[in-house]
Structure 1
Amino acid sequence: MGLDARLGALGLALGQVDDVRIELEDVRWSRWRARRATVVCRDVHVNPPAVLVSSPVEFRVEVDFADIPELQPVSWFPLTVQLVGSELHVRLHKWLPARVFAVPELPRGIQLTGVEQLDDHFVLTGAAPVLRERLTLGQLADVLRRLASIQSRTRSDTTSGISIWGT
C-alpha cells in the first residue's frame, strides 16, 4: 500500500489536507482481482463534529483480462472493451457478440466514468463529487495523530508531495 499526501502546518492545524493519494496492489474486488487500485481524495478536511470530507474523489482500477471470471481470452483475437452503464462489454472479434459482465459495485457513491483498453488489461475510472465519512472520536484522533506524525517528519510548512510507503 502506498500513501501520498500534501501537507502544510497551517492546513493540518485547521484539519485540512490538500490531496491524499492511496495506491493498493493485488486487490480482491468482489469476484474480480485488480492488479492496482488508486484513489485520489482532493481537498480533504474534517467538518465538525467528526466528519472526514473529500471533494472530489477519483478512482482508478487496473484489471487483467485473465482476471475476469468466466472470460477466456484468446491470444490471437484482440479484445475490445466498452463500458455501458455499469456493465463491461467484451468482444473477442467485431463479428462475435459481446460478453457482458456486471462491474462490481464501487464504494461510497463512486460512479464509473470510463474505460481505457490496453494490451493485456483495462483501466476503469470512476469519480464521486463528494465523499463524507463519519468518524468516531477515536478514529478522528488516530487520523490527526498520523497526520501530525507525517508533518513532524517534514522540513518546513511549505513541503508538499510527502510520500509515505508501507503504511
Structure 2
Amino acid sequence: MVGLDARLGALGLALGQVDDLRIELENVRWSRWRARRATVVCRDVHVNPPATLVSSPVEFRVEVAHSDIPELQLVSWLPLTVKLVGSELHVRLHRWLPARVFAVPELPRGIQLTGVEQLDDHFVLTGAAPVLRERLTFGQLAAVLRRLASIQSRTRSDTTSGISIWGT
C-alpha cells in the first residue's frame, strides 16, 4: 500500500463511520496479470453489527501496462486498441488484424468491470460494486478502528474533514 486517504471526523469515528476511504496500491499481482497501480475508493464506510464493515458503493481502478498483458506480442509500430466486451479484453494490433481475446481475471468482492480507458503505454480498467460487506473478527475490527483512531490523532484538530497518509 502506498497511500491511504480518509475523510473522518471525531463523531463519525466514534460511531464507527468514515465518509470516504481511498486506498492506493502499487505493483499488484492479480492472477497471472500484473498491475502497476490499483486504486479502491470506498464510500460511506461504516460498521454494522456484528463486526461487519460495509461500504456503499465501491469504485475500483487498475492500471495495466500493455507489456504486462499475458501472452501478447507487441509490435511497436502497430497501433494498439483495447476494448472491453463483458469480462474479456479484446486487443487489436491493427484494424485489419483479428483481435486477441483475453479473459480478465475475476475481481474480488463482487466488483464488476465497467469500462476501459486506453492510454499510450497502458490501459485503465474500471469497476464498481454497489455494496461491499466484509465480515471481520472482533480482533480485525479492533485493529481497523485502532488504525483509523491513530490516523485521526495525527490530524490538526477534531474538525479536520480530510487526511492523507502516504507511504504506509
Shorter chain as denominator, the TM-score bin is over 0.9
Equivalents in 2 of 1:17, 1:103: separation in Å?
Answer: 31
Instruction: List per-residue Cα deviations over 1:39-62 (Å, max 9, x = no partner).
Output: 000000000110000000000000
Unaligned runs of at least 5 residues, structure 2: none
Unaligned runs of at least 5 residues, structure 1: none
> How far did 1:158 drift?
2.2
> How far did 1:125 drift?
0.1
Instruction: List per-residue Cα deviations over 1:75-100 (Å, max 9, x = no partner).
Output: 10110010000000000010110000
Q: TM-score, normalised by structure 2?
A: 0.97
Equivalents in 1 of 2:27, 2:161: separation in Å?
Answer: 28
Q: TM-score, normalised by structure 1?
A: 0.98
Question: May I ask how many residue pairs the two structures share in their alignment?
Answer: 167
RMSD over aligned Cα atoms: 0.7
> How far did 1:36 drift?
0.3
> How far did 1:72 drift?
1.0
Consecutive aligned runs of 4 or more in structure 1 exceeding 4 Å deviation: none
Instruction: List per-residue Cα deviations over 1:120-160 (Å, max 9, x = no partner).
Output: 10000000000000000001111111111111111222212
Q: State the match for 1:95 in structure 2.
A: 96
